[in-house]
Structure 1
Amino acid sequence: MEIKKTSLANHAMTYGLYLGIVSIVLTVALFMTDLFLNQAVGMGLILVSIGLLCWVFLDFRKKHNGGYMTFAEGFKLGLLVNIISGVIAAVFKAIYVAFIDPSIVQKTVDFAIEEAYKQQGDMPDEAVEIVEKMYGFIAGPTGSLIIGIVSALIFGAIISLILAAIFKKEQSMFDRSEIMEEAE
Protein backbone atom coordinates (compact mmCIF):
# COMPACT_ATOMS: atom_id res chain seq x y z
CA MET A 1 0.00 0.00 0.00
CA GLU A 2 1.44 3.35 -1.04
CA ILE A 3 1.15 6.05 1.58
CA LYS A 4 0.38 9.44 0.13
CA LYS A 5 1.82 12.17 2.31
CA THR A 6 0.86 15.77 1.68
CA SER A 7 2.09 18.87 3.34
CA LEU A 8 0.16 19.84 6.42
CA ALA A 9 0.36 23.47 5.31
CA ASN A 10 -1.11 22.66 1.88
CA HIS A 11 -3.94 20.71 3.48
CA ALA A 12 -4.60 23.53 5.95
CA MET A 13 -4.54 26.15 3.19
CA THR A 14 -6.97 24.19 1.02
CA TYR A 15 -9.47 23.53 3.78
CA GLY A 16 -8.97 26.97 5.32
CA LEU A 17 -9.99 28.49 1.99
CA TYR A 18 -12.99 26.15 1.72
CA LEU A 19 -14.15 26.95 5.25
CA GLY A 20 -13.53 30.65 4.65
CA ILE A 21 -15.81 30.52 1.60
CA VAL A 22 -18.45 28.64 3.61
CA SER A 23 -18.17 31.35 6.28
CA ILE A 24 -18.68 34.09 3.70
CA VAL A 25 -21.78 32.40 2.28
CA LEU A 26 -23.25 31.86 5.75
CA THR A 27 -22.42 35.43 6.79
CA VAL A 28 -24.20 36.87 3.76
CA ALA A 29 -27.20 34.61 4.37
CA LEU A 30 -27.39 35.65 8.03
CA PHE A 31 -27.04 39.35 7.24
CA MET A 32 -29.68 39.20 4.51
CA THR A 33 -32.17 37.41 6.76
CA ASP A 34 -31.32 39.45 9.90
CA LEU A 35 -30.54 36.23 11.79
CA PHE A 36 -26.98 37.35 12.61
CA LEU A 37 -28.01 38.36 16.15
CA ASN A 38 -29.86 35.12 16.95
CA GLN A 39 -27.96 33.17 19.62
CA ALA A 40 -29.40 29.80 18.61
CA VAL A 41 -28.20 30.34 15.06
CA GLY A 42 -24.77 31.30 16.42
CA MET A 43 -24.56 28.08 18.42
CA GLY A 44 -25.64 26.12 15.36
CA LEU A 45 -22.86 27.72 13.33
CA ILE A 46 -20.31 26.75 15.98
CA LEU A 47 -21.52 23.15 15.76
CA VAL A 48 -21.32 23.27 11.95
CA SER A 49 -17.77 24.62 12.24
CA ILE A 50 -16.77 21.83 14.61
CA GLY A 51 -18.34 19.27 12.28
CA LEU A 52 -16.42 20.63 9.30
CA LEU A 53 -13.18 20.53 11.29
CA CYS A 54 -13.86 16.89 12.18
CA TRP A 55 -14.19 16.20 8.48
CA VAL A 56 -10.87 17.99 7.83
CA PHE A 57 -9.12 15.84 10.45
CA LEU A 58 -10.59 12.62 9.08
CA ASP A 59 -9.67 13.57 5.53
CA PHE A 60 -6.09 14.41 6.49
CA ARG A 61 -5.71 11.25 8.53
CA LYS A 62 -7.29 8.82 6.09
CA LYS A 63 -6.58 10.13 2.61
CA HIS A 64 -3.38 12.07 2.97
CA ASN A 65 -1.41 10.56 5.80
CA GLY A 66 -1.73 6.81 5.48
CA GLY A 67 -4.45 6.65 8.12
CA TYR A 68 -2.35 8.27 10.83
CA MET A 69 -2.16 11.66 12.49
CA THR A 70 -0.16 12.66 15.53
CA PHE A 71 -1.58 14.96 18.17
CA ALA A 72 0.87 17.69 17.09
CA GLU A 73 -0.16 17.37 13.43
CA GLY A 74 -3.83 17.55 14.40
CA PHE A 75 -3.32 20.61 16.56
CA LYS A 76 -1.32 22.43 13.87
CA LEU A 77 -3.81 21.46 11.17
CA GLY A 78 -6.84 22.62 13.15
CA LEU A 79 -5.21 25.86 14.24
CA LEU A 80 -4.03 26.72 10.72
CA VAL A 81 -7.42 25.94 9.18
CA ASN A 82 -9.14 28.12 11.79
CA ILE A 83 -6.70 30.99 11.34
CA ILE A 84 -6.97 30.93 7.54
CA SER A 85 -10.76 30.67 7.48
CA GLY A 86 -11.08 33.16 10.35
CA VAL A 87 -8.97 35.78 8.60
CA ILE A 88 -10.95 35.31 5.38
CA ALA A 89 -14.26 35.62 7.24
CA ALA A 90 -13.10 38.60 9.32
CA VAL A 91 -11.80 40.52 6.30
CA PHE A 92 -15.02 39.83 4.42
CA LYS A 93 -17.19 40.92 7.35
CA ALA A 94 -15.17 44.12 7.78
CA ILE A 95 -15.60 44.92 4.08
CA TYR A 96 -19.29 44.01 4.22
CA VAL A 97 -20.13 46.28 7.17
CA ALA A 98 -17.92 49.09 5.84
CA PHE A 99 -19.12 49.19 2.24
CA ILE A 100 -21.97 46.81 1.43
CA ASP A 101 -24.37 47.17 4.38
CA PRO A 102 -23.29 49.60 7.11
CA SER A 103 -26.75 49.29 8.71
CA ILE A 104 -25.53 46.03 10.29
CA VAL A 105 -23.57 48.13 12.79
CA GLN A 106 -26.65 50.10 13.88
CA LYS A 107 -28.77 46.94 14.07
CA THR A 108 -26.15 45.41 16.36
CA VAL A 109 -26.01 48.53 18.55
CA ASP A 110 -29.81 48.67 18.78
CA PHE A 111 -29.95 44.99 19.73
CA ALA A 112 -27.26 45.47 22.42
CA ILE A 113 -29.10 48.43 23.92
CA GLU A 114 -32.38 46.50 23.91
CA GLU A 115 -30.71 43.55 25.66
CA ALA A 116 -29.09 45.90 28.21
CA TYR A 117 -32.48 47.39 29.03
CA LYS A 118 -33.92 43.89 29.46
CA GLN A 119 -31.16 42.96 31.91
CA GLN A 120 -30.72 46.26 33.76
CA GLY A 121 -34.11 47.87 33.49
CA ASP A 122 -33.78 51.64 33.49
CA MET A 123 -30.29 52.84 32.58
CA PRO A 124 -28.67 56.27 32.77
CA ASP A 125 -27.92 58.00 29.48
CA GLU A 126 -24.17 57.60 30.10
CA ALA A 127 -24.54 53.82 30.25
CA VAL A 128 -26.49 53.83 26.98
CA GLU A 129 -23.75 55.93 25.37
CA ILE A 130 -21.10 53.48 26.56
CA VAL A 131 -23.05 50.55 25.10
CA GLU A 132 -23.49 52.45 21.83
CA LYS A 133 -19.78 53.26 21.54
CA MET A 134 -18.63 49.80 22.57
CA TYR A 135 -20.94 47.87 20.26
CA GLY A 136 -20.48 50.41 17.49
CA PHE A 137 -16.77 49.60 17.55
CA ILE A 138 -17.27 45.84 17.96
CA ALA A 139 -19.73 45.63 15.06
CA GLY A 140 -17.83 48.10 12.88
CA PRO A 141 -15.16 47.21 10.33
CA THR A 142 -12.12 47.54 12.60
CA GLY A 143 -13.73 45.78 15.54
CA SER A 144 -15.07 43.01 13.31
CA LEU A 145 -11.62 42.44 11.88
CA ILE A 146 -9.83 42.39 15.23
CA ILE A 147 -12.44 40.31 17.05
CA GLY A 148 -12.78 37.92 14.11
CA ILE A 149 -9.06 37.18 14.00
CA VAL A 150 -8.65 36.94 17.79
CA SER A 151 -11.72 34.68 18.00
CA ALA A 152 -10.32 32.45 15.27
CA LEU A 153 -7.06 32.13 17.21
CA ILE A 154 -8.73 31.37 20.54
CA PHE A 155 -11.48 29.12 19.16
CA GLY A 156 -8.97 27.47 16.83
CA ALA A 157 -6.55 26.69 19.64
CA ILE A 158 -9.20 25.30 21.98
CA ILE A 159 -11.10 23.21 19.44
CA SER A 160 -7.87 22.02 17.80
CA LEU A 161 -6.58 20.72 21.13
CA ILE A 162 -9.80 18.82 21.72
CA LEU A 163 -10.19 17.44 18.20
CA ALA A 164 -6.49 16.56 17.86
CA ALA A 165 -6.80 14.46 21.03
CA ILE A 166 -9.93 12.76 19.69
CA PHE A 167 -8.71 12.10 16.14
CA LYS A 168 -5.05 11.32 16.73
CA LYS A 169 -3.98 7.91 15.53
CA GLU A 170 -0.30 7.22 15.70
CA GLN A 171 1.51 4.32 14.11
CA SER A 172 2.58 1.60 16.45
CA MET A 173 6.18 0.50 16.29
CA PHE A 174 5.02 -2.72 14.60
CA ASP A 175 3.39 -0.76 11.76
CA ARG A 176 6.57 1.27 11.32
CA SER A 177 8.73 -1.85 11.07
CA GLU A 178 6.48 -3.31 8.35
CA ILE A 179 6.77 -0.11 6.35
CA MET A 180 10.54 -0.14 6.80
CA GLU A 181 10.70 -3.75 5.56
CA GLU A 182 8.53 -2.92 2.52
CA ALA A 183 10.80 0.03 1.67
CA GLU A 184 13.90 -2.21 1.61
Structure 2
Amino acid sequence: MIMENQRKSVFGPAMSYGLYLGLALILTQVIFYVSGNPFSKVSSYISYALLLGGISWGMYLFREKAGAEGMPYGRALGLGTAQTFFASILLGFFIFILYKFIDTGLIDKLYIYTEQTYLEHGMSEDQVETIMQMSKKMMTPAVLGVSQVFSLTLIGFIFSLILAIFFKRNPEEPFGEVVEEEEQN
Protein backbone atom coordinates (compact mmCIF):
# COMPACT_ATOMS: atom_id res chain seq x y z
CA MET A 1 0.00 0.00 0.00
CA ILE A 2 1.45 3.33 -1.07
CA MET A 3 1.01 6.17 1.36
CA GLU A 4 0.36 9.47 -0.36
CA ASN A 5 1.94 12.56 1.06
CA GLN A 6 -0.86 15.10 0.97
CA ARG A 7 0.42 18.49 1.96
CA LYS A 8 -1.72 21.34 3.04
CA SER A 9 -1.88 24.04 0.38
CA VAL A 10 -0.38 27.44 1.16
CA PHE A 11 -3.04 29.19 -0.94
CA GLY A 12 -5.77 29.45 1.72
CA PRO A 13 -3.55 30.57 4.58
CA ALA A 14 -1.72 32.99 2.26
CA MET A 15 -5.04 34.59 1.36
CA SER A 16 -6.15 35.04 4.95
CA TYR A 17 -2.74 36.20 6.22
CA GLY A 18 -2.52 38.47 3.18
CA LEU A 19 -5.91 39.96 4.03
CA TYR A 20 -4.71 40.96 7.49
CA LEU A 21 -1.42 42.27 6.15
CA GLY A 22 -3.20 44.23 3.41
CA LEU A 23 -5.58 45.81 5.91
CA ALA A 24 -2.65 46.82 8.13
CA LEU A 25 -0.88 48.40 5.14
CA ILE A 26 -4.06 50.24 4.12
CA LEU A 27 -4.53 51.50 7.67
CA THR A 28 -0.99 52.88 7.60
CA GLN A 29 -1.70 54.69 4.34
CA VAL A 30 -4.96 56.10 5.71
CA ILE A 31 -3.25 57.38 8.86
CA PHE A 32 -0.55 59.18 6.89
CA TYR A 33 -3.08 60.49 4.35
CA VAL A 34 -5.33 61.91 7.09
CA SER A 35 -2.34 63.42 8.89
CA GLY A 36 -1.43 65.31 5.71
CA ASN A 37 1.75 63.35 4.93
CA PRO A 38 0.73 60.85 2.24
CA PHE A 39 4.25 60.70 0.75
CA SER A 40 6.20 60.47 4.01
CA LYS A 41 9.30 58.26 4.09
CA VAL A 42 8.27 57.19 7.59
CA SER A 43 5.19 55.64 6.01
CA SER A 44 7.45 53.55 3.77
CA TYR A 45 9.56 52.39 6.71
CA ILE A 46 6.47 51.44 8.69
CA SER A 47 5.13 49.56 5.67
CA TYR A 48 8.39 47.61 5.37
CA ALA A 49 8.27 46.77 9.07
CA LEU A 50 4.64 45.63 8.73
CA LEU A 51 5.60 43.56 5.70
CA LEU A 52 8.45 41.85 7.56
CA GLY A 53 6.28 41.29 10.61
CA GLY A 54 3.30 40.06 8.61
CA ILE A 55 5.31 37.60 6.56
CA SER A 56 7.06 36.33 9.70
CA TRP A 57 3.74 35.95 11.49
CA GLY A 58 2.22 34.04 8.55
CA MET A 59 5.21 31.72 8.23
CA TYR A 60 5.25 31.04 11.96
CA LEU A 61 1.53 30.22 12.12
CA PHE A 62 1.68 28.00 9.04
CA ARG A 63 4.75 26.14 10.32
CA GLU A 64 3.16 25.52 13.71
CA LYS A 65 -0.08 24.26 12.14
CA ALA A 66 1.88 21.98 9.79
CA GLY A 67 3.34 20.07 12.74
CA ALA A 68 5.28 16.96 11.68
CA GLU A 69 4.67 17.80 8.03
CA GLY A 70 7.10 20.68 8.44
CA MET A 71 7.56 23.63 6.15
CA PRO A 72 10.44 23.26 3.69
CA TYR A 73 12.19 26.34 2.33
CA GLY A 74 10.19 26.37 -0.92
CA ARG A 75 6.84 26.29 0.84
CA ALA A 76 7.91 29.06 3.21
CA LEU A 77 9.03 31.15 0.23
CA GLY A 78 5.79 30.44 -1.61
CA LEU A 79 3.68 31.28 1.42
CA GLY A 80 5.43 34.60 2.05
CA THR A 81 5.30 35.62 -1.60
CA ALA A 82 1.64 34.65 -2.02
CA GLN A 83 0.73 36.39 1.23
CA THR A 84 2.42 39.57 0.03
CA PHE A 85 0.75 39.26 -3.37
CA PHE A 86 -2.72 39.13 -1.81
CA ALA A 87 -1.88 42.04 0.51
CA SER A 88 -0.57 44.05 -2.45
CA ILE A 89 -3.77 43.48 -4.41
CA LEU A 90 -5.75 45.02 -1.54
CA LEU A 91 -3.32 47.92 -1.20
CA GLY A 92 -3.20 48.47 -4.97
CA PHE A 93 -7.00 48.57 -5.12
CA PHE A 94 -7.05 51.05 -2.24
CA ILE A 95 -4.44 53.25 -3.96
CA PHE A 96 -6.54 53.21 -7.14
CA ILE A 97 -9.72 54.18 -5.24
CA LEU A 98 -7.86 56.88 -3.28
CA TYR A 99 -6.39 58.56 -6.34
CA LYS A 100 -9.36 58.03 -8.67
CA PHE A 101 -12.36 58.79 -6.44
CA ILE A 102 -11.47 59.98 -2.92
CA ASP A 103 -8.85 62.65 -3.66
CA THR A 104 -8.45 63.33 -7.36
CA GLY A 105 -5.99 66.16 -6.65
CA LEU A 106 -3.59 63.80 -4.92
CA ILE A 107 -1.94 62.93 -8.25
CA ASP A 108 -0.99 66.58 -8.72
CA LYS A 109 0.46 66.62 -5.20
CA LEU A 110 2.43 63.47 -6.02
CA TYR A 111 3.68 65.10 -9.21
CA ILE A 112 4.89 68.18 -7.27
CA TYR A 113 6.43 66.02 -4.53
CA THR A 114 8.30 63.93 -7.11
CA GLU A 115 9.55 67.03 -8.90
CA GLN A 116 10.81 68.56 -5.63
CA THR A 117 12.55 65.31 -4.69
CA TYR A 118 14.44 65.24 -7.99
CA LEU A 119 15.50 68.87 -7.57
CA GLU A 120 16.66 68.24 -3.99
CA HIS A 121 18.85 65.40 -5.25
CA GLY A 122 20.77 67.81 -7.48
CA MET A 123 19.19 67.23 -10.87
CA SER A 124 19.00 70.19 -13.23
CA GLU A 125 15.63 71.74 -14.00
CA ASP A 126 15.86 70.59 -17.63
CA GLN A 127 16.45 66.99 -16.57
CA VAL A 128 13.61 67.15 -14.08
CA GLU A 129 11.28 68.67 -16.66
CA THR A 130 12.09 65.90 -19.16
CA ILE A 131 11.58 63.17 -16.58
CA MET A 132 8.36 64.73 -15.30
CA GLN A 133 6.88 65.00 -18.80
CA MET A 134 7.37 61.26 -19.25
CA SER A 135 6.25 60.49 -15.70
CA LYS A 136 3.06 62.52 -15.98
CA LYS A 137 1.76 60.12 -18.62
CA MET A 138 2.40 57.23 -16.26
CA MET A 139 0.97 58.85 -13.12
CA THR A 140 -2.60 57.61 -13.38
CA PRO A 141 -4.59 55.90 -10.61
CA ALA A 142 -4.62 52.59 -12.50
CA VAL A 143 -0.87 52.60 -13.13
CA LEU A 144 -0.15 53.57 -9.53
CA GLY A 145 -2.35 50.74 -8.24
CA VAL A 146 -0.88 48.11 -10.56
CA SER A 147 2.68 49.25 -9.90
CA GLN A 148 1.96 48.96 -6.18
CA VAL A 149 1.00 45.31 -6.71
CA PHE A 150 4.19 44.52 -8.63
CA SER A 151 6.60 46.45 -6.42
CA LEU A 152 5.16 45.21 -3.12
CA THR A 153 5.11 41.61 -4.37
CA LEU A 154 8.75 41.91 -5.43
CA ILE A 155 9.74 43.36 -2.06
CA GLY A 156 7.74 40.63 -0.31
CA PHE A 157 9.51 37.99 -2.41
CA ILE A 158 12.90 39.37 -1.36
CA PHE A 159 11.86 39.48 2.30
CA SER A 160 10.46 35.94 1.99
CA LEU A 161 13.75 34.68 0.53
CA ILE A 162 15.46 35.77 3.71
CA LEU A 163 12.75 34.90 6.24
CA ALA A 164 12.20 31.41 4.80
CA ILE A 165 15.74 30.52 5.88
CA PHE A 166 14.74 31.07 9.50
CA PHE A 167 11.21 29.62 9.39
CA LYS A 168 11.81 26.46 7.38
CA ARG A 169 11.38 23.15 9.14
CA ASN A 170 12.03 19.92 7.30
CA PRO A 171 9.33 17.24 7.55
CA GLU A 172 9.81 14.61 10.21
CA GLU A 173 10.41 11.07 8.95
CA PRO A 174 7.74 8.83 10.53
CA PHE A 175 10.04 5.80 10.55
CA GLY A 176 13.30 7.71 10.98
CA GLU A 177 14.22 6.33 14.40
CA VAL A 178 13.33 2.74 13.48
CA VAL A 179 15.38 2.90 10.28
CA GLU A 180 18.37 4.35 12.13
CA GLU A 181 18.19 1.56 14.73
CA GLU A 182 17.99 -1.12 12.01
CA GLU A 183 20.97 0.36 10.19
CA GLN A 184 23.04 0.26 13.38
CA ASN A 185 22.28 -3.46 13.96
TM-score tier (shorter): 0.7 to 0.9
Q: Match for residue 45 of structure 2?
A: 43
Q: Match for residue 70 of structure 1?
A: 72
Q: Match for residue 137 of structure 1?
A: 138
Matched residue of 2:67: which SS?
coil
For residues 69-124 of structure 1, the C-alpha deviation after alignment (integer angstroms, 9 at most, x for no partner) is: 11111011011101111011101111110000112211111111112222236513
For residues 113-171 of structure 1, the C-alpha deviation after alignment (integer angstroms, 9 at most, x for no partner) is: 112222236513x7426325515634x31221221111133112211111111110113
Q: Distance in 1 between matches of 2:29 and 2:42?
A: 15
Q: Does 1:18 align with 2:16?
A: no
Q: For 1:34, give the aligned amino acid.
A: G
Contact 2:100 2:141 in 1 (8 A): yes
Q: Distance in 2 between matches of 1:161 and 1:91?
A: 26
| Unmatched tracts of structure 2, length 5 or more | 1-6, 179-185
| Unmatched tracts of structure 1, length 5 or more | none
Q: Distance in 1 between matches of 2:141 and 2:177?
A: 52
For residues 19-54 of structure 1, the C-alpha deviation after alignment (integer angstroms, 9 at most, x for no partner) is: 122222222112111223221331222012101211
Matched residue of 1:120: which SS?
coil
Change (3 A) 1:149 1:36: same
Contact 1:31 1:104 in 2 (8 A): no
Contact 1:61 1:69 in 2 (8 A): yes
Give the greater-gyration-radius structure (CA): 2
Stretches of 4+ moved more than 3 A in 1?
none
Q: Match for residue 177 of structure 1?
A: 175
The CA RMSD over aligned residues, in Å, is 2.4
Q: Does 1:108 align with 2:106?
A: no
Contact 2:14 2:80 in 1 (8 A): yes
Contact 1:93 1:145 in 2 (8 A): yes
User: What is the total number of aligned residue pairs between the two structures?
Assistant: 171
Q: Distance in 2 between matches of 1:130 and 1:91?
A: 26
Percent of aligned positions that are identical: 22
Matched residue of 1:102: which SS?
coil
